Amino acid sequence: MTLKNKNSFCVVDGNEAASYVAYRTNEICIIYPITPASSMGELPDQWASEGIKNIWGTVPQVVTMQSEGGAAGAIHGATQTGALATTFTSSQGLLLMIPNMYRIAGDLTPAVFHVAARAIATHGMSIFGDHSDVYATRATGFAMLCSSSVQEAHDMALIAQAASLQTRIPFLHFFDGFRTSHEVAKIEQLSDQQIRAMIPDELVIENRNRRLTPDNPTVRGIVSDPDTYFQGREAVNPFYNETPGILEKTIGQFKEATGREYKLMDYYGDADAERVIIIMGSAAETVQETVDYLRTKGEKVGLIKVRLFRPFPKAQFLAAMPKTCKAIAILDRTKEPGSAGEPLYEEISTTLIERGEEQNKKIIAGRYGIASKEFTPAMVKAIFDELKKADPKNHFTIGINDDVTHTSLDYDPNFDIEAGSVIRAVFYGLGSDGTVSANKNSIKIIGEETDLFAQGYFVYDAKKTGSQTVSHLRFGPNKIRSTYLISSANFIGCHQFRFVETMAILERAAPNSTFLLNSPFAADKVWDKLPRSLQQTIIDKKIKFYVIDGYKVARDSGMGAHINTIMQTCFFALSGVLPRESAIAKIKDAIKKTYASKGEEVLQKNYAAVDNTLANLVEVKVPSEASSNFDLSPTVSVDAPPFIQEVIGKMIAGKGNELPVSAFPCGGVYPTNSTKWEKRNISAEIPAWVPENCVQCGLCRIVCPHSAIRSKRYPESALKGAPETFQSTKLRGPDAEGDCFTIQVYAEDCTGCGACIEVCPINKGKTGKKALVMRPKQNEPEAERSNLKFFENLPVDPSKVDKLSVRGIQHVNPMFEFCAACAGCGEAPYVKLLTQLFGDRLIMADACGCTLVYGGYLPTTPWTVNHEGRGPAFGASLFEDNAEFGYGFLLTAEKHREQALELIAELADQINAPELINATTNATQKNDSEIAALRHQIAKLKNRLAEINNPRAKQLLSLIDQLVRQSIWAVGGDGWAYDIGFGGLDHVLASGRNMKILVLDTEVYSNTGGQSSKATPRGAVSKFAAGGKPTAKKDLGLMLMTYGNIYIANIAIGANPGQAIKAFQEAENYDGPAIVIAYSHCIAHGIDMQKGMQQQKLAVQSGYWPLYRYNPDRVKEGLNPLQLDSEKPSIPFAEYIKNENRYQILARTKPEVAKELMKLAEEDIARRWRMYEALQRV
């Protein structure tokens, strides 16, 4: 949003709508990233870096904290000393603020927290919206004000700020995460004059005069004894009693300033309504839309929108309720297990009981929309229908099939009330193809340049590469209240041809709609390339069908693979939302605004793409009959286990909503070994192996983030029966006699990132060429599937595999495969390596960042098992507590091992096998062969125990596997290790116990969008550091060296993979705490991800990222514990950073600042090297 001082319409999402007001009406913004609230903090940081001022003519101070708890603490301090301060958060972040919220409210301190309400982690984690987080704060003393739309998020942000100053009660202003926070809509923007009218200077000055100051000293935060605490707690009652009335006056003032009217309890519907739904949040818009429709059918129905939840406005609620009402449904977007009812139900019921009206009305409660589950007019109608019954179901659910406790209501999914005047368009694209950005641009054009109202909502899957996006756009002459996905679209755009092969792409198409397909096949060829069911749908629904080869138009126009402008032009040309000539002109205007700074050449290429689009857009003549001899590909193989086919397969197909409650495992426990069944086929090009050029170095296998390229050594005799196209060559090396070697690419799982191509060395001996080249994927995959099946069945002799070398570990099967990390991800190779080294005894605690998204996000997870069924066990708790969570794993392993040894000693006489007991209890476990031998002994001991009729023997049987040393690692990013979780990490490492930690250092909060952390280097631009980070990177390893008993390694797999393998092995074998800090290049660095490993090399060569190992065991040998594994800086720091946009953007926008920060960064490098060299000499 461009900050401007005049009243106007604009197109924004809910986060920006709220953040705009918060920035304008506060002096301090204290921020910390969490999805889906992060952009509310990013925008103030950006605006402050641009020097944009608030309504008092000063630039607010924007400060990033190490956690949400820290942000709340800083807010408390800032407000106590008289500042107007705000913050933005969601979900677990809000929970971390609760202790301070009690204090802030108890101190009667004005403040507003803006919350994108989101589900709380329970049996699993969800980033999507419900009210479980805000309800968890309802006892803190914060007033709670809810917005149901993007416009309301804008308006209520101001109303909350004004009311907080007037009441001295802090406000929690919330709206639904994603459904409102990320919905893009046309709103009426508040002007500075309107904002100033709501925030009188007198109130601001009064607030400052109450500050903590030595000029008028007071004491706050005192400790009370039982004789006084109770009375002090009750002293605040008048403030809360007066708040609803003051808020009503504030809303009245807002109406005078803007003309927009709100109520604390807003009734909408028939004046004589007999059935009423009570609800708050975005779903109220859907209920209102349905009420309008049902009233046209003669139904006496109504809606009460709850805006103020705390303090609960009883009088206003009772006044809003129609006297004729006979039945009420109270809907909550949360679940509180074991409660008498959810929070809103409890408040309403209590109010009615106190008034004595509960006997005159049927009152039922329902749960809906948890974690952004769809809530549609069909569901609203079902609830109103339920209220007609003499004995309606209480504590019902809607939108799911609860076949376990039978709480759910049935509804007709085909019930549709969308107005014919609304243009409804659905677009299918990839996260990387620009579809979403093009659609946001379309909404902006239509919303800001015409009188039409506009709405956009964007559905993303969780995968960081090859993720599907579905854009839902509505345009119409009236305000759009449809806060649900489009089910009947009059325009469908499919921007990736492969989608038509795997999904019912026209399921949402309305009769006589328009279908636009980006197709590599011409209009006269494409029909035969479509699945039969899709052809039949086009015929049955009389769909107009158009194709364009968007990628060809892009290439011909000099746009590379950027098809967003092309597909946007097609939409305007076909949809009729605007006259074609006018639409094209507006698209070009938008192009000029977006790309003018990139030069005339870029502008002309985009203009050419627009012009060339219309010439290449062709209508397909639809035959009268379907003719294809194939149909949609099966979601998963028929060879998959039943749970994969029946449950996971439904999720993969986008049919998770159809799964009943009984399909789900209780407690959120899911099987591993599932990604291999999800063949995503996202890459058009994949690496091809040229055996004669291969030096068998292993680099391609070690850098592949997705385990999509593998190798094996095997006896030559195993090639008998190999498919004709199977490739192999003689194994190189001194012990290679009689063995062959194959590199196998998993074509359907490869992301085409090119990392393997980049690291593949040129064979300087025989060919002077690389062994890997990128080639288009074969159209007929069956031959490659045969090769793959043969490869996977080749025998492997573990005794011939050296896991401690790069050349050797390439033959170790990873237990982490086909993850959904970004193409070319810098983190995933380390996780894969961890599983290759220790996978069959690995238990991993995860810090809920990127690793959780690509390691533990439904529908599939990348962890696999070996032939014995063993493999990594993966668990996630929260973001901030991962070290402690993993520490709990360790404590269990230690205690259970101790108990097992005690029981063996106790049962020794009954076991009667002293040699077996000795071999089991005194075994060394230094390598895989020793661990395998111990497992063999344990199996024998289990057989003995099974024959002993003693309860203590059964106890021992449940514990005896703990004698095998587990490899326990806490894994996460720098946001966890350097910031929010540092206290726990420090404590766990300081314990001296055998805990292992892997820090995947991307130098930003990668998962929430690339915000700055303490690991972010000086001078780098990131979110929350829009002006370039002014301070140096925290040296975590150096800090931890001061303990003296922690193994520490700094590694970069792209610079020295051998050192990385050695560091992991040493850390694992070190009898004590260990931490490995791994340089992990990231897309947030603004680099070509194919060259990520080269960036790692440059980071090391420049001295920015020194490689070292600090091993306290060396002290016992009289050696210095610190070993520097990289040479002194051999290239300038500038040589490293020139390829990274995170540095270069500052050089372009603020060259003088960039120059100064780069000078300081070079001094940082020199100082650190002097320090490390000095430590090495000690």
Mean pLDDT computed over 984-1006:
97
Which residue from 998, 972, 1003 is spatially nearest to 1096, judged by alpha carbons?
Answer: 1003
Mean pLDDT of 957-972: 96
pTM (two decimals)? 0.95
Fold of 969-1177: Rossmann fold (3.40.50)
Write the CATH number of the domain with boundaries 265-397. 3.40.50.920
Percent of the chain with pLDDT over 70: 99
> What H or E segment, with its residue span, contains residue 719?
none
How deeply is 96 buried, as exposed, middle or buried, from its count of CB atoms within 10 A (0-12, 13-18, 19+)?
Answer: buried
**Residue 595: what pLDDT?**
74
The two tokens of residue 1139 are 């390829």
Band of pLDDT at residue 439, cut at 50, 70 and 90:
very high
Measured CA to CA, the distance from residue 431 to residue 461 in angstroms comes to 9
Please spell the DSSP secondary structure of 618-660, one letter per residue: EEPPPPSS---S--PPPSS-TTS-HHIIIIIHHHHTT-GGG--
The pLDDT value recorded for residue 623 is 96
Q: Quick check: 779 pLDDT over 70?
A: no
How far apart, in Å, are the Cα atoms of 821 and each of 853, 877, 1054? 8, 20, 17
Kindly report, residue by residue over 468-515, the tens digit of the pLDDT.
899 999 999 999 999 999 999 999 999 999 899 989 999 999 999 999
CA distance 192 to 1079: 46
CB-CB neighbours of 298 under 10 Å: 7
**pLDDT for the residue 597:** 64
* CA distances to 733, 772, 838, 969 from 927, in Å: 23, 33, 10, 18
pLDDT tens figures, 1065-1121:
999 999 999 999 999 999 999 999 999 999 999 999 999 999 999 999 999 999 999
What is the edge-to-edge ordering of all strands in the sheet holding 362-367? 265-269, 301-306, 275-279, 327-332, 362-367, 396-397
Element (H, E) at 609: helix 600-616
Biggest alpha carbon–alpha carbon distance for the chain: 94
| CA 308/CA 247 separation, integer angstroms | 9
Residues 172-182 have pLDDT tens digits of 999 999 999 99
**For residue 534, which of 525, 523, 524, 545 has the smallest C-alpha distance?**
545
Look over the chain and give the mean of its residue pLDDT values, rounded to a whole number: 94
The residues near 338 (Cβ < 8 Å, ≥ 6 apart) are none
Q: What pLDDT is stored for residue 780 in this prediction? A: 67
User: What pLDDT score does 1 carry?
Assistant: 41
How would residue 3 be classed by pLDDT, with cut points 50, 70 and 90?
very low
Beta strands in 762-879 (DSSP E): 772-776, 842-846, 873-876
Per cent of the chain over pLDDT 90 is: 87
Q: Could you count the other beta carbons within 10 Å of the beta carbon of residue 187?
A: 26
Phi/psi for 1001 (5° steps) reads -90, 95
State residue 766's pLDDT score.
65
Q: In the predicted model, is pLDDT for residue 143 greater than 60?
A: yes
Q: How many CB atoms lie within 10 A of CB 697?
A: 18
Q: What is the 3-state secondary structure (H, E, C) of 444-489?
A: HHHHHHCCCEEEEEEEECCCCCCCEEEEEEEEECCCCCCCCCCCCE
For residue 2, what pLDDT is reported? 38
Distance, in Å, from the CA atom of 207 to the CA atom of 187, rounded to the nearest integer, reads: 31
- The class (CATH top level) of 423-619 is alpha beta
CATH topology for 635-671 is Pyruvate-ferredoxin Oxidoreductase; domain 4 (4.10.780)
The span from the CA of 663 to the CA of 648, in Å, is 10
pLDDT digits (tens, 9 = 90+) for 658-713: 999 999 999 999 999 999 999 988 888 999 999 999 999 999 999 999 999 999 99
Cis peptide before 44 (omega within 30 of 0): no
Output helix, strand, coil percentages for the chain, rounded to the nearest 5.
40, 15, 40
For the annotated catalytic residues, the residue numbers are 35, 68, 118, 1007
- Amino acid present at 768: G
- The CATH number of the structural domain formed by 8-258 is 3.40.50.970
Arithmetic mean of pLDDT, 224-234 = 95
Q: Report, as an integer, the average pLDDT of 529-555.
A: 96
**What's the CATH code, domain 679-813?**
3.30.70.20
> CA angle, corner 969, sides to 968 and 972, nearest 5?
160
The reported pLDDT for the residue numbered 763 is 81
**861-874, pLDDT tens digit by residue?**
999 999 999 999 99
- Segment 526-543 shows an average pLDDT of 97
Residues 6 or more apart from 205 whose CB is under 8 A from it?
none
Reading across the β-sheet that carries 489-494, which strands appear in turn?
8-13, 184-189, 453-460, 468-476, 423-430, 489-494, 509-518, 544-548, 618-619
Mean pLDDT of 364-382: 98
Confidence of residue 578 (pLDDT cuts 50, 70, 90): confident
